[in-house]
């Protein structure tokens, strides 16, 4: 039996139309699979059945019939692939209740400043209200600013190379004329922010009313109250008729502002080369006294070293540990916590 080419092509067209519609309209995976078997099934799908009919087309018509057959086959395969990807992306879409754009979104977790940075900002703010402006100095210092102008003589134990982080060039030892960088001047990581007192006074005539906050370095073994790097707040006030009573009132105001209640200040006689007289400053903590740092009246030798006249002006200075005041306020028992970067600790501030 010979099938006319026109009839064969007509059946192909009908199959293409029906297959495209059913495959394209499949609502879920099961419906698509049924449609696939019906149209593209390898054993008895409708396309397969038609392929068998190809043998009945007259020999001269076979190329035209075969060409159209292949086109329809490709068309149905494409319709199947489209339907598969359409249903796959529908599966990936969230089920459950529809999106409600009026609901608040999930809150992103926000970080915050490190507790020491927060403390530094707050101390600047408090001292700013008392009329002190912020001054800055380098962390790599020379011996003049770290020691000499601060009246610390060459044989003072604080200048021992083992007590400081000297930056020596190869072959040069700390304290020797060719140590440090550049030009052979010995340089070191500053061991105290008192260096900034000198830098400020060198730059301007009195009166001076500054604070300096920053990192200082000492080769100390880390423990609950020591670390090779820590922070200090330094204060300096130089003017006519400045007295120790001014120093104590100012420190009391400062402590009360930061700790937020009536705090007692205690001065214990002490010695620093750059102040005379010198005191250790304690603050009351419950029934205990906590040492916060040192203070005193600026030594006349320091004023002379920067070209000030000690007969005309006097001044007070103080230096407190930032870690200590911060730890004291928040009840932190070990300052090493500040440097561990443990978010469970930092999160609390």
Listed residue (43, 136, 27) closest to 86, CA to CA: 27
Positions touching ligand DAH (CB under 6 A) are 192, 194, 234, 272, 275, 293-296, 317-319
Question: Closest CB to ligand DAH among 164 and 275?
Answer: 275
DSSP letter at 148? G
Helices (H), 223-321: 244-259, 300-305
Residue 281 CB, nearest distance to ligand DAH (Å)? Answer: 9
Residue 187 CB, nearest distance to ligand DAH (Å)? Answer: 18
Q: Which two tokens stand for residue 105?
A: 């979104």
> Which pairs count as long-range contacts for 175-180, CB under 8 Å and 24+ apart, including other chains?
180/142
Residue 129 CB, nearest distance to ligand DAH (Å)? Answer: 20
Residue 100 CB, nearest distance to ligand DAH (Å)? Answer: 60
Phi, psi at 55, each rounded to 5°: -65, -20
The answer to whether the beta carbons of residues 308 and 201 sit under 8 Å apart is yes
Give SS3 for 291. strand
Question: Closest CB to ligand DAH among 214 and 319?
Answer: 319
Q: From the centroid of its chain, how far is CA 21?
A: 58
Question: Closest CB to ligand DAH among 15 and 116?
Answer: 116
- Give me the residues paired with residue 57 across strands: 3
The length of the chain, given as a count of residues:
349
Cα–Cα distances in angstroms (integers) from residue 296 to residues 216, 293, 316, in the given order = 20, 11, 6
Listed residue (10, 79, 66) closest to 39, CA to CA: 79
Residue 302 CB, nearest distance to ligand DAH (Å)? Answer: 10
Question: Given the DSSP bridges, would you call strands 140-142 and 229-239 parallel, antiparallel or unpaired?
Answer: unpaired
Residue 202 CB, nearest distance to ligand DAH (Å)? Answer: 16
Question: Closest CB to ligand DAH among 19 and 206?
Answer: 206
The answer to whether the beta carbons of residues 234 and 194 sit under 8 Å apart is yes
Residue 319 CB, nearest distance to ligand DAH (Å)? Answer: 3
Question: Closest CB to ligand DAH among 119 and 192?
Answer: 192
Q: Which two tokens stand for residue 178?
A: 């060719």
């Amino acid at each position: 039996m010979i099938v006319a080419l026109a009839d064969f092509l007509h059946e192909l067209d009908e199959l293409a139309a029906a297959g495209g519609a059913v495959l394209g309209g499949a609502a879920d995976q099961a419906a698509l699979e049924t449609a696939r078997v019906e149209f593209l099934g390898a054993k008895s799908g409708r396309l397969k059945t038609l392929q068998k009919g190809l043998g009945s087309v007259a020999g001269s018509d076979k190329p035209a019939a075969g060409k159209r057959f292949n086109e329809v086959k490709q068309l149905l395969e494409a319709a199947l692939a489209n339907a598969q990807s359409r249903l796959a992306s529908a599966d990936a879409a969230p089920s459950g209740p529809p999106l409600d754009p009026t609901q608040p979104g999930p809150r992103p977790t926000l970080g915050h400043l490190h507790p020491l940075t927060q403390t530094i900002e707050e101390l600047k703010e408090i001292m700013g209200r008392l009329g002190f402006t912020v001054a800055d100095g380098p962390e790599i210092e020379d011996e003049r600013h770290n020691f000499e102008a601060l009246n610390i003589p060459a044989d003072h134990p604080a200048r021992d190379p083992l007590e400081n982080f000297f930056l020596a060039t190869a072959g040069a030892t700390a304290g020797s004329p060719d140590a440090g960088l550049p030009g052979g001047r010995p340089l070191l990581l500053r061991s105290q922010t008192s260096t900034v007192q000198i830098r400020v006074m060198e730059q301007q005539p009195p009166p001076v009313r500054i604070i300096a906050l920053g990192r200082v370095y000492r080769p100390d073994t880390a423990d609950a109250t020591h670390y090779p790097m820590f922070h200090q707040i330094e204060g300096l006030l130089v003017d006519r008729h400045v007295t120790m009573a001014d120093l104590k009132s100012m420190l009391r105001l400062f402590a009360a502002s930061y700790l937020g209640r009536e705090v007692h200040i205690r001065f214990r006689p002490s010695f620093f080369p750059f102040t005379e007289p010198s005191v250790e400053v304690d603050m009351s903590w419950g029934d205990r006294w906590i040492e916060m740092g040192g203070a005193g009246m600026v030594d006349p030798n320091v004023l002379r070293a920067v070209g000030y006249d000690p007969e005309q002006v006097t001044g007070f200075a103080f230096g407190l540990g930032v870690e200590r005041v911060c730890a004291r306020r928040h009840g932190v028992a070990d300052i090493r916590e500040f440097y561990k970067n443990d978010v469970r600790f930092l999160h609390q501030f």
